[in-house]
Structure 1
Amino acid sequence: MNVEPYVSFLGADIRFSVLDRSRTREGQDGARALRDTVRLAQEVERLGYHRFWVSEHHGVPGVAGSAPTVLAAAVAGATRTIRVGTGGVMLPNHQPLVVAEQFGVLEALYPGRIDMGLGRSVGFTDGVRRALGREKEEAGRFAEQLDELLGWFDGTQTAHPHVHARPAEGLRVPPYVLATGEGAAIAAAAGLPLVIGDLRGRDRMLSAIDRYRAAFRPSSWAAEPYVVVSGTVAVARTEAEAHRLLLPEAWSQAYSRTHGTFPPLLPPERIEALTMTDKERGFYEQGLRGHLYGTGDQVREALEGLVKEGGAQEVLVTTSTYDRAALLDSFRLLADAVGLAPEGAAAGA
């Protein structure tokens, strides 16, 4: 039985979920990162999180997750109750028919547990885009591609008469739109749930949520707006320890913005010993701002404010750090702080 793991925040039912990017660590290969993603999914399922999503990145040295539907299949096969999906499949990189077929296979194998998170980004670099056979302009066709994709499931697509997506046609795989660029407006027009971040641009995020709700048009997929806010949430036994969890990702982002390549994560002590240029230091310090971190009580209070401001129905935690044990501990402490029921503890589980 797939129990809905809600918790009560401010008198509302809120879900908590996890997105893992399969980040590589210094001295460890991509295979290790992928296996650890599967193990993390098993752990957060036991902790009572609602869904577990994986991401799509191509040609990025620090990320092993390049084939999200393949990785989602591995995660679904290794878990029993948690919802599994993508955050997301970048639709401009693919033919909608192929995406429909992939999710149709997943839903056929793991009925009632699969989510279809979709984004409008294209390849990270010109070289990657050429290798994918795509150009930057493909992102401008996202709304059209989204409409075709959904049509493969309900049999309404007209772009390719007499062609049917097997086994997708007739199945219901919940779609979610990642709010990159115009994503929020497209989600509202299509009547689909919205996944939006990051928490560092709080005012911009809240404005986009307001516009999404105002423009939302009910569809066969969603009768009313549904908002998932996503971002980094780090929890430890002290505020200083929680802040230290943020260092590896902040440095990786700073390095990518100054050197053009996204590196594997370094341990915090290595980062603290680095001599950074002024430009690197600026991006690094910028990367440390705006996240939610602290003790369980501190983070719970911050999350309550976030949920109240945005009226979100769900929080998707996207935290990465070098120390996998500390990362799992952060998810445990967060689960305790917000009152998630461990697997087997909920009524009817």
Structure 2
Amino acid sequence: MSSVIASTRFSVLDRSRIRAGHDGPGALRDTVALAQEAERLGYHRFWVSEHHSVPGVAGSAPTVLAAAVAAATSTIRVGTGGVMLPNHRPLVVAEQFGVLESLFPGRIDMGLGRSVGFTDGIRRALGRDKEDADAFPALLAELLGYFDGTQRVHPQVHARPAEGLRVPAFVLATGQGARLAAKAGLPLVIAAVRGEDAMLRVIDDYREAFRPSSWSERPHVVLSGTVAVAGTTEEARRVLLSEAWSTAYSRTRGAFPPLSPAEEIEALAMTARERTLFEEALSGQIHGTEDEVESALEKLLTRSAADEYLVTTSTYDRAALLDSYRRLARLTGLTSASA
């Protein structure tokens, strides 16, 4: 194992994806079970996400789900990837994380994003619009102020029991969000949604613009992405098919469907547009045998000098998913080769 992989922390983000023929409650239970396995394997963090009214996603209340995960585990850090701050009042978010940190001291992370609802209808239901994402810097400053007692937006208002506690905060971001993370002096979580080269430029800009703060003395970069490991390259590629088809479907029909089995996707008669989007969703994903994935991770981590890798893999086949996480834990040194 290379020194760059050995020095990198590996964590897990699960979006509670619903599988075809299964339901939302089952997806949430799968998330808790995956967190328990991630803890056993030695992963550093386990995060859950926020999505509203998305047919194929059950994870709509991240702080509630984080509480369930933390209660079912004992050592792994637990957090959100993330709470979409424009959808909430900072006081309520501070109170929620204050409760989590009080119940599970030293184990809670506060991952924060600036996105609003997926569609106009969802945004209306949340009482938000697209422009509310622009309020993220002010909302972030207010939220952090509730923890350290510097909040002045609402004088004499205190977040109980958050005030005086320190919950590590992270910003989920691309270009603009990365600049906000640097200005606030917070760790950055970033994915290669616009390609690896574009992501690396954003990371460089973040590090150059970073201002040390009481929350983080130095830049801290968490890469986020899919990793699939299997006995053969083809088996690993099949792990990716469910999410790739869901992505292509959403971009042509406006909704994420439940995850389908790989064999059903392989038998689909896709349109030319669907096929293009499907192949785009597959491209750039890290997958293969343990040796192939180790080589790809070493190259990416060397180029990015990232501190951590947050694995976000979803698939219909739970056995294949668990096997992938076990193989990844072995090749990164989290667990022994015999585990």
Common fold: TM-score over 0.5: yes
Q: Distance in 2 between matches of 1:168 and 1:135?
A: 28
Give 1:137's aligned residue. Answer: 131
SS of 2:211's equivalent? coil
Give yes or no for contact 1:26–1:264 (8 Å, CA) kept in 2.
yes
The AA in structure 2 aligned to 1:95 is R
SS of 1:207's equivalent? helix
Once the two structures are superposed, the pairs formed by residues 323-338 of structure 1 within 5 Å of their partners are: 323-338=317-332
The AA in structure 2 aligned to 1:188 is A
Give 1:77's aligned residue. Answer: 71
Q: Distance in 1 between matches of 2:318 and 2:278?
A: 21
Give 1:19's aligned residue. Answer: 13
Give 2:106's aligned residue. Answer: 112
Aligned-residue CA RMSD in angstroms? 1.3
Give 2:149's aligned residue. Answer: 155
The AA in structure 1 aligned to 2:192 is D
Q: Distance in 1 between matches of 2:3 and 2:142?
A: 37
Give 2:89's aligned residue. Answer: 95
Give 1:194's aligned residue. Answer: 188
Q: Distance in 2 between matches of 1:181 and 1:31?
A: 35
Q: Distance in 1 between matches of 2:260 and 2:18?
A: 9
Aligned residue pairs, count: 337
Residues 11, 138 of structure 1: CA spacing in aligned structure 2 closer, same or farther, 3 A cutoff? Answer: closer
Query: What runs of 5+ residues in structure 1 fail to find an aligned partner?
Result: 1-6
Of 119, 125, 147, the match for 1:125: 119
Give yes or no for contact 2:5–2:297 (8 Å, CA) kept in 1.
no
Moved more, 275-284 or 82-91: 275-284
Query: What runs of 5+ residues in structure 2 fail to find an aligned partner?
Result: none
Give 2:290's aligned residue. Answer: 296
Whether 2:52 is the aligned partner of 1:58: answer yes
Tell me the CA shift for residue 12 of structure 1.
6.4
The AA in structure 1 aligned to 2:233 is E
Give 1:229's aligned residue. Answer: 223
Give 1:268's aligned residue. Answer: 262
Which consecutive aligned stretches of 4+ in structure 1 deviate over 3 angstroms post-superposition?
A: none
Once the two structures are superposed, the pairs formed by residues 331-346 of structure 1 within 5 Å of their partners are: 331-341=325-335
Query: 1:274-321, CA deviations, whole angstroms, 9 ceiling, x for partnerless residues?
Result: 111111111111111000000111101111111110010100000001
Tell me the CA shift for residue 199 of structure 1.
6.4
Give yes or no for contact 2:192–2:198 (8 Å, CA) kept in 1.
no
SS of 1:246's equivalent? helix
Q: Percent identity, aligned pairs only?
A: 72
The AA in structure 1 aligned to 2:12 is V
SS of 1:10's equivalent? helix
Q: Distance in 1 between matches of 2:261 and 2:70?
A: 30
Give 1:29's aligned residue. Answer: 23
The AA in structure 1 aligned to 2:16 is S
SS of 2:46's equivalent? strand
The AA in structure 2 aligned to 1:195 is V
Give yes or no for contact 1:199–1:290 (8 Å, CA) kept in 2.
no
The AA in structure 2 aligned to 1:155 is G
Q: Distance in 2 between matches of 1:160 and 1:38?
A: 37
Give 2:177's aligned residue. Answer: 183
Whether 2:166 is the aligned partner of 1:172: answer yes
Tell me the CA shift for residue 180 of structure 1.
3.5
Give 1:4's aligned residue. Answer: none
Tell me the CA shift for residue 97 of structure 1.
0.5
